[in-house]
Amino acid sequence: MPSTNRYTGLVDHYRSRLPLAADARAIALCEGRTPLIRLENLPRRLGLDVELYVKFEGLNPTGSFKDRGMTAAVTQAVHEGSRAIICASTGNTSAAAAAYAVRAGITAFVLIPEGKIALGKLAQAVVHGAVVIQVTGNFDDGMRLVKEVAQTSPVSIVNSINPYRLQGQKTAAFEIVEALGRAPDYHCLPVGNAGNISAYWMGYSEMTGRTTSASRAFGEKPAYDLTAVTNTRPTMVGYQAAGAAPFLRGGPVAHPETVATAIRIGDPQSWDFAWEAQRDSEGWFDECTDDEILATQKLLAQNEGVFCEPASAASLCGALRDLKAGKIRPGSTVVCTLTGNGLKDPDVVMKNGLAGLVQVPAERAAVEKALLARLG
């Protein structure tokens, strides 16, 4: 237990609800406790009858939800004596792995796809001193290779096939139930490898005293606290990028393509867990085009002051569409997870971002003229 009330991170805070040894030293960066922001302008301007929140996971220490899973996975790996971790990544997992490895004093190996990774994420892996291995292939190739080399090399896999990753990530659902006093009616997420939607479903389920298949990876009745604090669970809704939508196609996609590089994944590792979430919550999967995703990223930034990365905007994009269509019941409470921070990938917004730039000589009159022309 921490010796003061200072919040140190989710491992110490939720230790009784996690399958970690009591004496495992938390490898932590104060991750978690991210804001649940109620959207005010967008629902009003769009005329939607909804209580709509975003869980802004971009405010975790490395700027994405991956920190939740990484603190748990690295805490366990170090407890087991591991000296090195490895992951394949579209960017955010590698950023988190790199940072938590530094914190633990161990080595991180990260396999990233050729090109197609946001520069900010690569910079994070580099600055934290991870060994960056660029694979001439995509994320799915990297994932396959990680599984192969981990069979013979002394490295711990910290992709979400590591069950401690989902354990850490389930705590986001705990925080939401605590903040709202109950579970939302709907929870919407972007889906890539499908670990996060599986983790939220586990978290919401455990808040009602139930288990899921992901919980039962730690035994039929897991040796951690399942005390019920609410009786309802949300309908889980997963949104994919149209060019990388295996859940819509019914099987792996060989050549995934999307501007939302974080979810450019064709062969999701948590396939069965995610279908369980869909089935048991009576939810659904849907897809968003790249244009819709980018438009939603901008809509959110320009109406609410929240800047998320493209992949994250998929959750809000789909939710707004399903709200307009009435597929999400009017009057509902809806939470969308914004998985990552927009600052990681400025290139995508700067492509057309300089179009509105106003250039003037360094003179007061010129600046005043520019102001007047825009004050209406």
- What's the closest the beta carbon of residue 111 comes to ligand AN7, in angstroms? 10
- What's the closest the beta carbon of residue 309 comes to ligand AN7, in angstroms? 5
Nearest-angstrom CA–CA distance, 75 and 103: 10
* Nearest by Cα to 296 from 55, 42, 90, 48: 42
Q: Contact at 8 Å (CB) between 283 and 235?
A: yes
Nearer to ligand AN7, 92 or 167 (CB): 92
Nearer to ligand AN7, 82 or 92 (CB): 92
* Nearest by Cα to 9 from 55, 72, 59: 72
* Nearest by Cα to 239 from 318, 154, 309, 164: 318
Nearer to ligand AN7, 82 or 339 (CB): 339
Nearer to ligand AN7, 195 or 222 (CB): 195
Nearest-angstrom CA–CA distance, 62 and 60: 6
- What's the closest the beta carbon of residue 66 comes to ligand AN7, in angstroms? 6
Return the sign of the alpha-carbon dihedral for residues 8, 9, 14, 16. negative
* Nearest by Cα to 141 from 312, 256, 10, 38: 256
Nearest-angstrom CA–CA distance, 349 and 329: 32
Nearer to ligand AN7, 11 or 111 (CB): 111
* Nearest by Cα to 161 from 202, 114, 198: 198
Contact residues for ligand AN7, defined by CB under 6 A: 64, 66, 89-93, 160, 190-196, 262-263, 309, 311-312, 339-340
If you search the block for the tokens 């996975």, which residue do you land on?
73
- What's the closest the beta carbon of residue 232 comes to ligand AN7, in angstroms? 23
- What's the closest the beta carbon of residue 360 comes to ligand AN7, in angstroms? 37
Nearest-angstrom CA–CA distance, 48 and 249: 30
Nearer to ligand AN7, 104 or 265 (CB): 265
- What's the closest the beta carbon of residue 248 comes to ligand AN7, in angstroms? 14
